[in-house]
Amino acid sequence: MAGWVFWNMAPGMGSRRFLYMLQQERSTVGFARRLQSGVDKPHWLPTPLWTWVRKQGDPVEAGRRELDRARARRAEVVTIGSRYYPARLREIADAPPLLYMAGRRPPAAPVWVSVVGSRQASEYGVSVARRFCAELGARGVSIVSGLARGIDAAAHRGAMSVGGYTAGVLGCGIGASMTARLERMVGEVLSCGCVISPFPIGFPASTGTFPARNRVISGMSTACIVVEAAEVSGALITANFAVAQNRNVYVVPGDITRPTSRGVVNLLSDGASPVVSVDSVIKDLIASGHVLKPAPPKPTAADGGRSRGLTDNDVMVYASVGDLTSFESIQKSVAMPARQVMACLSRLELLGMVIRLDGLRFSRRPG
């Protein structure tokens, strides 16, 4: 393990060279020590990388120090052969040889679906992402996303709202300097899921690290759902990786006048499947042989909300929602404080009974 960690820290090594080294060398530690003893540089090893290895101390001690840093962050190193390493990720070309993982270990044989989208998401996009991930989480699907604001955050929170499992993939090393918002998001995900990074502890984020993060997100997944994406965006990069990895890619139709719909339109023209509910995604997962949890009872106002634990106030608010009903109209109809009405609407939204739209308007979910 220490030898693997040592080589993963080597600048410029990358997954492809690492995997090639594993094919060529019987021991990662022995190979490092031979280079340090003065043997000629292998033709496939770049000179800066060869020089870096020769300047290091004992590779086992260096690897152990990195493992200590991981433990100090309550993270473990999961190699490509571990049962905790995502099975679908292992199948892609040049898979990361190891991952750092903090938080709760994933469930046995998880079915991963990635949900990604714009940081500048509309209320509609956030609402759809939360609802889709709540419904998928309720069926036992594990959600993976990138911890960014907007759609990513909504995806994680939607899964967590129903006690589902979620994983956030970082574009930096665990323990690296982060914004206050990202630290809070990481904390939320760690409470009921895990945070993953292919980078060493404390490795800083840069423009070059995010494509690697996106490739892990798509590679882990059986399917990828895109909710709002600009023509040039990380979400689109993730979706393109998913296409190249032969994953099912779904896109949520959006307002064609918004810049964050242009990437979605491009994906549709490239053959992605439009999706207006998670039912088609779930149907495809089951058809592929995945076993999911039974669908929970559909919530209705007629049963007083008992099937999903709704309060009397929730049922009153639901009854006041029609088509594109404004928040003001709902509040006037039920004569409750605004904060209480919003709490009811949020519960109904997470249960998939209502959809939140732009302008703080709400509609009942069809069906």
Confidence tier at 304 by pLDDT (50, 70, 90) = very low
Chain centroid to Cα 119, Å, comes to 14
Query: pLDDT by residue (tens digit) across 108-153?
Result: 889 999 999 988 888 888 888 988 998 999 899 999 999 999 999 9
This prediction has a pTM of 0.82
- Output the CATH code of domain 112-287: 3.40.50.450
Please give the pLDDT value at position 140. Answer: 94
Q: Between 24 and 268, whose confidence is greater?
A: 24
Tell me what pLDDT residue 334 has: 86
Band of pLDDT at residue 301, cut at 50, 70 and 90 = low
For 289, the token pair is 């042989």
pLDDT above 70: percentage of residues in the chain: 95
State in Å, rounded, how far the first CA of the chain is from the last one: 52
pLDDT at residue 335 tops 90: no
pLDDT attached to residue 166: 97
Domain 306-364 has CATH 1.10.10.10: yes
Q: What does the alpha-carbon distance between residue 180 and residue 183 come to, in Å, rounded to a whole number?
A: 5
pLDDT the model gives residue 308: 61
Q: For residue 114, give the nearest of 83, 84, 148, 91 by alpha carbon.
A: 148
Could you give the CA distance from residue 363 to residue 297 in angstroms, rounded to a whole number?
A: 20
Is the confidence at residue 313, as pLDDT, over 50? yes
User: Which amino acid type is present at position 250?
Assistant: Y
Output the pLDDT for position 359.
75
Measuring CA to CA, which residue among 195, 233, 213 is closest to residue 119? 233
**Which carries the bigger pLDDT value, residue 83 or residue 269?**
83
Query: Domain residue spans in the chain?
Result: 2-72, 112-287, 306-364
Over residues 150-175, the pLDDT tens digits come to 999 999 998 988 889 999 999 999 99
Q: How far apart are CA 362 and CA 100, in angstroms?
A: 41
Of the two residues 345 and 358, the one the predictor is more confident about is 345
- The single-letter code of the amino acid at 201 is I
pLDDT of residue 348: 87
Q: Is 227 left (phi over 0), alpha (psi -120 to 50) or beta?
A: beta
Question: Which has the minimum average pLDDT: 48-57, 205-214, 319-328?
Answer: 319-328
Question: What is the token pair recorded at 173?
Answer: 């090393």
Q: What percent of the chain has pLDDT over 90?
A: 55
pLDDT tens track for 64-89: 999 999 999 999 999 999 999 999 99
pLDDT at 249: 93
* pLDDT above 70 for 366: no
Cβ atoms of 113 and 224 within 8 Å: the answer is yes
- The whole-angstrom separation of Cα 230 and Cα 46 is 36
Could you tell me whether strands 98-103 and 75-79 are parallel, antiparallel, or unpaired per DSSP bridges? Answer: antiparallel
For strand 325-326 and strand 166-169, is the pairing parallel, antiparallel, or unpaired?
A: unpaired
